[in-house]
Amino acid sequence: MTEILIGKAASFEDGGRRIVFHGDVEIGVFRWEGKFYAYENLCVHQGGPACEGLIMHQVEDVLAPDRTFIRQTFSESDVHFVCPWHGYEYHLTTGECVGDQRLKLRRYEVVERSGEVFIIAE
């Protein structure tokens, strides 16, 4: 087990992310609504830098009670990051692939201690 110091928590803008290196492994660290999340920066699709893409909320169809389509909107709570190579989307809080939740990015535990942020890596 290795602790990788990412930096001071206060230096992380909410909604921001950093890419850090642990040997050959790239890890994307996100701060979202005050919490930290870390995943290997390697898309399950073709190996793209999944953690470097846009952060976008889930697009939702809005249906009326009679099940007719009204419009589309962005979710207020379900947020994704999107691999910039081909558009594979991942739930920011779990690393699960939106299109097929059997597919997941490798997740790393993140701890805050004395105002500093660490990733726990093997």
Partner 1 sequence: MELPLSNHRRMSVDEFDTRITLSHAAKQARERGYANFPIIDVDSHHFESESFAEIVKYIEDPVVRQLLESSTIAGYRGVGALPAGLGYQDYGGRIMREPLRRLERTEPKPHRDITLTRRWMDSMGVDIAILFPTPMLHLGLHPQVEIEVALSYAYNRWLVEHVLAQEPRIRTMLYLPFNDPTATYRVVKEFIGKPGVVGFMVTSNRYRPVHHNDYMKTYALLEESNLPIAFHGAYNWNDQSMLMVNRFISAHALGFVWYNLVHLTNWVINGLGERFPKLKVLWIESGLAWLPFIMQRLDNEYMMRTADAPALKKLPSDYIRDMYFTNQPMEKTGDVALLETTFRVIKAETQLLYSSDYPHWDFDLPSVIYDLPFLNETQKRAILGGNALRVFGMEPPKRKLAVMD
**List of residues contacting partner 1 (CB under 8 A):** 15, 42, 46-49, 53-57, 59, 74, 76, 79, 82, 84-87, 89, 100
Closest approach of partner 1 to the CB of residue 94, in Å: 18
Nearer to partner 1, 57 or 107 (CB): 57
89 φ, ψ (degrees, to nearest 5): -110, 145
Closest approach of partner 1 to the CB of residue 3, in Å: 26
Nearer to partner 1, 47 or 115 (CB): 47
Closest approach of partner 1 to the CB of residue 6, in Å: 20
DSSP of 30-54, one letter per residue?
EEETTEEEEEES--TTT---GGGS-
Beta-ladder partners of 5: 118
Give the pairing type, strands 107-113 and 116-121: antiparallel
Rounded Cα distance, 52 and 41, in Å? 8
What's the DSSP call for residue 96? B
Closest approach of partner 1 to the CB of residue 83, in Å: 8
Nearer to partner 1, 99 or 115 (CB): 99
